[in-house]
Structures are given as C-alpha cells and as structure tokens.
Amino acid sequence: MTSYRRIDSQRLLCPSAHCEDGALLVGVIGAEGKIAYINPALPVDKSFRERACTGRTPEHRFRFAATCQESGCMHWTGRRCGVIDQAIEAAEATKNRECVSKPLPKCGIRMQCRWFAQRGSDACGTCPFLFNYVWPDTSSGGQSSFQKREVQQPCQIYQITNSR
C-alpha cells in the first residue's frame, strides 16, 4: 500500500488517542454511534479531562487526537497504522457504500492525521464510523480486532476491541 500524503511523521496525529492533557478534542460520539467533528479541534486541558472522566470512559463519548506513537503503539505494523487499514477493509467487506461518509467530514486535523497521510480520503470517509476504543492491557499481550455492531441505521459501525 502506498502513502497518500508526504507529511513530517514527527507531527502526525493519531485520531484515536487517550483523553490526556495536551491531546486534541476532535469530535463527539453521537447516540447513533457516528462521530460529529469539532472544527477546529480543541486542546484538552486538566479541567476538561477531569470533567470528561466522570461517568463513562471519555473515549466512549469523545474522539481525541495526539501525536502518533508509531512503534510505541500496539497497532503499529512496522511502517504504518494497522487500525485504519483494518477499518477500511472491514467497511469494504460490507459492500455497503453508506458506510463511507460522503462528502468527507469537516475534520480539524486532516492535514496532520496519520490515517489521512496513509490512506487519503478513504480514511476520512471511514473515520466517522470508528468508535469506542477499548484500551487493552498490553502487558498481557492483548491483540486488537474489529467487530461489527448493529445500529439503527443502514451502516455497520465498527468498534475496535481487544481479543486475547
């Protein structure tokens, strides 16, 4: 697979990051499971993080971005992020064009996004349907996978989960 954009990899952002000080808030996960983007993305500070951490896990309600950790991330394949590659393959397997957002969402991090740099507009079209990342305990050797989730709309939405 080829990269679509040449962007300084030191500045690429992972659009599936933790809620941490210094991260960017890029979207809100709606009741139907699709991301509603915030443009421009907003910096996450201690005050926001403390409020977001009450109740459900922030990553189940919001989409965050932070500097891509590359080899420090369990999804790094050695040269690229495996999350978006798997997500696009899963969306294509449904043969349901409604699983790809058209027109592309108004994203505040596109020009710095790891997924966009890797897969171009295909990544942007699939991104709104990825949600509820369950951060694995990497010390136990957990692996990630995608599972379909039935929702009350024509598209299958994919959830990144752990499997052991």
Tens-digit pLDDT profile for residues 98-134: 666 678 888 999 999 999 999 999 899 888 878 654 4
* Residue 3 forms part of a structural domain: no
| Structural domains counted in the chain | 1
CB 124 within 8 A of CB 105: yes
In whole angstroms, give the CA distance from residue 113 to residue 102. Answer: 18
* Distance from C-alpha of 129 to C-alpha of 127, rounded to nearest angstrom: 5
- Burial class of residue 7 (count of CB atoms within 10 Å of its CB; 0-12, 13-18, 19+): middle
Write down the pTM of the prediction: 0.75
**Which domain range does residue 139 map to?**
9-163
Distance (Å, whole) CA 145 – CA 134? 10
Does 2 fall in a domain? no
4 pLDDT higher than 50: no
Indicate the SS3 state at residue 84: helix
pLDDT tens by residue, 46-101? 999 999 998 888 988 899 999 999 999 888 999 999 999 988 888 777 765 566 66
